[in-house]
Structure 1
Amino acid sequence: MSDTVKKSPDAVPQQSDMSGPKRPGLVLALLAACALMIVLDSTVVYVALPKIQQSLEMGGTGLVWVVNAYALAFGGLMLLGGRAGDIVGQRRVLLVGLVIFGVASLICGLATSPEMLIAARAAQGVGAALVAPTSLSLIPINFTNDAARTKAIGVYTGIAAAGGTFGLIIGGVLSDAASWRWVFFINVPVVALVVLLAPTAIRESQPQRGSFDFVGAVTSTGAMVALVYALVRTSTAGWDDPVVLACLAAAAVLFTVLLLVERRARQPLLPLRLFTDRVRASGFVTLLFFPAAFAGMFFFLTQYFQVVWSYSALRTGFAFIPAAVLVLVAAILTGQLVPKLGSTVVAGIGALLTAGAMIWLTQISADGGYATSLLGPLVLGGFGAGLIYASVTTSIMSNVTPDVTGAASSVLQAVQQIGPALGLAVLVTAAGTPADPVDGMRRAFWVAALIAALPAVLALLGRPSRTN
């Protein structure tokens, strides 16, 4: 029997196909649009930074905060956003987050000073922290049939995983053809459309009555902000930077306090029973470490294309299209593979494929060609990543009760947010500063290969025992 039908105390009760949404295509399109929009805004701004700097006369530090303000607010409030949906209703919190995100996007596009833009980017992060976990948690609530839910999660995660690459392309096109301001304006009509259609198309979750865990909210937010900031700063300041060390220490203390508080809370922000299931726990660990390796591939190949081969930012974005397309294709195929092979087997295959891609990339050289040296690992890595993201997300979100769906979604996306920052901190350290940058990239890809192979081990350890 496949591991995807394993039951636990947290398993979602099975319902008939008739309990699904009346317009499943529309529901999935709306939720996937939310995922794509949130991911795009994590990367779309990168290509626009030079023109933003020129237009607003912004210094280098300000440019860094255009990126970091979004990342800190997004990562810091992620746990709070998901749990808020459990308590007051996932759809309700989603709509509130969309309004915040849309208004903040409009202000970003209208910004007349660096301070105005940075503040609006932070507000965008707040909205994203509400939208990201609730949009994912609404999938098992609206798609209760196993096959339909697995397919929906595959499409959702595929679009989300591929969105970062498409963000680079869209950012370049909008910045060159119109203005950097349209990088943000484009969110407004999407938000308006989803807010208009969601109340009637998307089924609401059952709110959980009770007191709100304010202590958990404060400690989790503080811990996440401290950890995300430390990891973001590490890539430029190093591990021995006093600010980095202080933030890591603060994060460790706050996470310890959070665990102690949540053990006694009546309605905890972070239900600890989420981590008692072996499959789910191994899934969380996989989604922490795997993005660390996959993000490293994008980071170093971006440097390779632009520094070694002198690609423009827009051409670099197009170079990643094969990986982005294969992520989406594999994620959609996962809906057919998981019922036959089981989610852990599919994740293990994806891990091995991606680790192979990283090993392939250790052979790069300055005089290589795109088709002969890089197309293969991009295709292999993209396909493997799609298998992992979709199968692990399915195994986590199909194995929780409705009252903690938002909490599970927020933990899942929180570890995905931390993973790339952690990976870049480790891989940049591994690369060092050699005279030949390609030598450093090779070292980084060896480390990335080891990290990418970890989910294959976790797949074996996390696979549940067979039952009759």
Structure 2
Amino acid sequence: MTTTSVAATPTTRAAVPAPAPTRTDGILAIILVGYFMVILDNSIVITGLPHLQAELGMSAAGLAWVQDAYLLAFGGLLLLGARAGDVLGRRRMFAVGLALFTLASVAVGLAPTGGTVVAARALQGVGAAVLAPSTLALLTASFPEGPERTRATAAYGAVAGIGASVGLVVGGLLADLVSWRAGFLVNLPVGVVMLVAGMKVLPETPRTPGRFDVAGALLATLGPAALVYGFVRAGTAGWADGGTLAALGLGAALLAALVAVERRAAQPVLPLGLFASRERVGAYAARLLFIGAMMGFFLFTSQYLQDERGFSALAAGVAYFPMTAVNFVVALAVPRLQRRASGPALLVAGLVLAVGGMAWLGAVDAGTSYAVGIALPMALIGAGQGLAFGPLTASGIAGVDRSQAGAASGVVNSVHQLGGALGMSLVLALTGTYAAAMTAGALLLLAALAAAVTLVLPAARRDARS
């Protein structure tokens, strides 16, 4: 906490009032809690999915949509949400996003049917797409360059790192002791308190005149959604099914339309110039594939541990600890490792470890022990994730002009969310058993490794020599 000091003059020696604290700690706390809610709800449902399925009678494809609906709305509308903050004010959009996210959370918690859960999760994603970019922009506006900004961004990064893991444990705990619904209903009191505090404490940012590329944002959402529907349908109806082919064709057509619209847009939500760099394209592709494999890993591992191994929802959440702990330790070591090796080299090393861990899980059978056959490969995956994520993010914004820094960061985050939805639905469509799902995940990671080796690494080496 920073303070302002007042010095007494030598002649008066008057008592000096105690320094008045600034509101920066309160601002940071509100920003972090808001962001934590978004990250937490990415994973809090995963360990509770078997309970949700049993209560509402949902199919495996329906369960995938519980997560996909959130990720698609979040990732597809994220860039539009960021632009809304620029044009309308970040504090205002923080409040709008938080209110929408909170109300949608209540709708999920009270949902009487699986379809209602999916619809409410999509609404949650819309709220997250408005809320998440506002939190980072408010942090940047509230903390000047220097030690204060460093402290704030470190805390923000820590929330991103631990939020998903905490969600797995908290989701399992609440599902076992109360209900899977409790993980969403708890957002109501937290959201109300944060909304009131935010309107009192958070500063408003200047508004920037601009246009909303609504057509681009809708196409960026509907295109991946059609592909996800095609993948999910293929898992039940087959790849030759007319509905499957129609959905996949529609998804491809919508993405082609997105490119055409963005070429003509005055202020595109997705600047196509960002794809002129081989390093950035490789980073986007590797991130999409990596996150897709990881979302499939989380979903299938949670179900496998509970359905096949008899773990409780809480125990399934705790079972991820080897991965979480190793991930945290390795991520902290990345800045020191980059003194000896480049970021892209660490990215490649991380992906190699992740491929090995996921392939190892693909050999799981009924006689495999948790300690050797599950915990150890999880630790490998955690080490790979810890090595890869920082360099992957850096390559995703490498060489970007300052005027497009916000758009580049938005693309990285959108790819992150959309990759989770696409990858998870593809793994679901291609597999029937846990071992097969992990093998499919290993193939996605292998493709991510190929993108890193052929695009990211050579481009970074060329830039280093020039």
Q: TM-score, normalised by structure 1?
A: 0.78
The aligned counterpart of 1:453 is 449
Matched residue type, 2:463: S
1:281-326: CA deviations, max 9, x gaps? Answer: 3322221111123334334433543344333333222111221233
> In the alignment, is residue 211 of structure 1 matched against residue 211 of structure 2?
yes
1:401-424: CA deviations, max 9, x gaps? Answer: 565444333322221123233333
In 2: Cα distance, 1:428 partner to 1:217 partner: 27
In 2: Cα distance, 1:347 partner to 1:207 partner: 38
Query: How much has 1:334 moved relative to structure 2?
Result: 3.6
In 1: Cα distance, 2:186 partner to 2:128 partner: 15
**Structure 1 segment 6-155 matched on structure 2, within 5 A:** 30-49=30-49, 60=59, 66-111=66-111, 117-136=117-136, 145=145
Q: Secondary structure at the match of 1:364?
A: coil
Q: TM-score, normalised by structure 2?
A: 0.79
In 1: Cα distance, 2:437 partner to 2:225 partner: 29
Query: How much has 1:190 moved relative to structure 2?
Result: 3.3
Q: 1:176 to 1:306 in 2, by over 3 A?
A: closer
Given that 2:322 and 2:379 are in contact with CA atoms closer than 8 Å, whether structure 1 keeps it comes out as yes
Q: 1:443 to 1:53 in 2, by over 3 A?
A: closer
**Of residues 460, 463, 466 in structure 1, which corresponds to 2:464?**
466
Q: Secondary structure at the match of 1:465?
A: helix
My pick for the range that moved more, 312-321 or 63-72, is: 63-72
Q: 1:26 to 1:347 in 2, by over 3 A?
A: farther
Query: How much has 1:235 moved relative to structure 2?
Result: 4.3
In 1: Cα distance, 2:407 partner to 2:443 partner: 32
Given that 2:72 and 2:421 are in contact with CA atoms closer than 8 Å, whether structure 1 keeps it comes out as no
In 1: Cα distance, 2:365 partner to 2:51 partner: 32
Query: How much has 1:187 moved relative to structure 2?
Result: 1.6
Matched residue type, 2:464: R
**Of residues 434, 440, 444 in structure 1, which corresponds to 2:440?**
444
Matched residue type, 1:454: A
Q: Secondary structure at the match of 2:270?
A: coil
The aligned counterpart of 1:415 is 415
Q: Secondary structure at the match of 1:211?
A: coil
Q: 1:415 to 1:211 in 2, by over 3 A?
A: closer
Q: Secondary structure at the match of 1:218?
A: helix
The aligned counterpart of 1:301 is 301
Q: 1:449 to 1:214 in 2, by over 3 A?
A: closer
In 1: Cα distance, 2:351 partner to 2:377 partner: 13
In 1: Cα distance, 2:101 partner to 2:303 partner: 31
Query: How much has 1:47 moved relative to structure 2?
Result: 4.1
Given that 1:293 and 1:420 are in contact with CA atoms closer than 8 Å, whether structure 2 keeps it comes out as yes
In 1: Cα distance, 2:235 partner to 2:211 partner: 40
Size of the aligned set, in residue pairs, is: 442
The aligned counterpart of 2:371 is 371
The aligned counterpart of 1:169 is 169
In 2: Cα distance, 1:442 partner to 1:99 partner: 38
Given that 1:280 and 1:395 are in contact with CA atoms closer than 8 Å, whether structure 2 keeps it comes out as yes
**Structure 1 segment 289-368 matched on structure 2, within 5 A:** 289-338=289-338, 341-368=341-368
The aligned counterpart of 1:383 is 383
Q: 1:448 to 1:117 in 2, by over 3 A?
A: closer
Q: 1:68 to 1:210 in 2, by over 3 A?
A: closer
**Structure 1 segment 188-199 matched on structure 2, within 5 A:** 188-198=188-198
Q: Secondary structure at the match of 1:77?
A: helix
In 1: Cα distance, 2:200 partner to 2:329 partner: 30
Given that 2:105 and 2:124 are in contact with CA atoms closer than 8 Å, whether structure 1 keeps it comes out as yes
Matched residue type, 2:249: A
Matched residue type, 1:465: D
In 2: Cα distance, 1:54 partner to 1:426 partner: 24
Give the gaps of 5 or more residues in structure 2.
1-21
Matched residue type, 1:354: A
Query: How much has 1:253 moved relative to structure 2?
Result: 1.7
Report which of the two structures shows the higher radius of gyration computed on alpha carbons: 2
Q: 1:52 to 1:445 in 2, by over 3 A?
A: closer
Q: 1:112 to 1:136 in 2, by over 3 A?
A: same
Q: 1:422 to 1:181 in 2, by over 3 A?
A: closer
My pick for the range that moved more, 315-324 or 185-194, is: 185-194
Q: Secondary structure at the match of 2:94?
A: helix
Q: 1:59 to 1:428 in 2, by over 3 A?
A: closer
1:13-55: CA deviations, max 9, x gaps? Answer: xxxxxxxxx8877666544433432233233234445655676
Given that 2:320 and 2:378 are in contact with CA atoms closer than 8 Å, whether structure 1 keeps it comes out as yes
Matched residue type, 1:419: G
My pick for the range that moved more, 237-246 or 112-121, is: 112-121
Query: How much has 1:236 moved relative to structure 2?
Result: 4.3
In 2: Cα distance, 1:150 partner to 1:392 partner: 20
Q: Secondary structure at the match of 2:81?
A: helix
Q: Secondary structure at the match of 1:269?
A: coil
My pick for the range that moved more, 335-344 or 247-256, is: 335-344
Report the aligned-residue RMSD: 3.8
In 2: Cα distance, 1:89 partner to 1:334 partner: 35
Give the gaps of 5 or more residues in structure 1.
1-21
In 1: Cα distance, 2:158 partner to 2:200 partner: 25
Given that 1:86 and 1:407 are in contact with CA atoms closer than 8 Å, whether structure 2 keeps it comes out as no
Given that 1:327 and 1:382 are in contact with CA atoms closer than 8 Å, whether structure 2 keeps it comes out as yes
Given that 1:212 and 1:267 are in contact with CA atoms closer than 8 Å, whether structure 2 keeps it comes out as yes
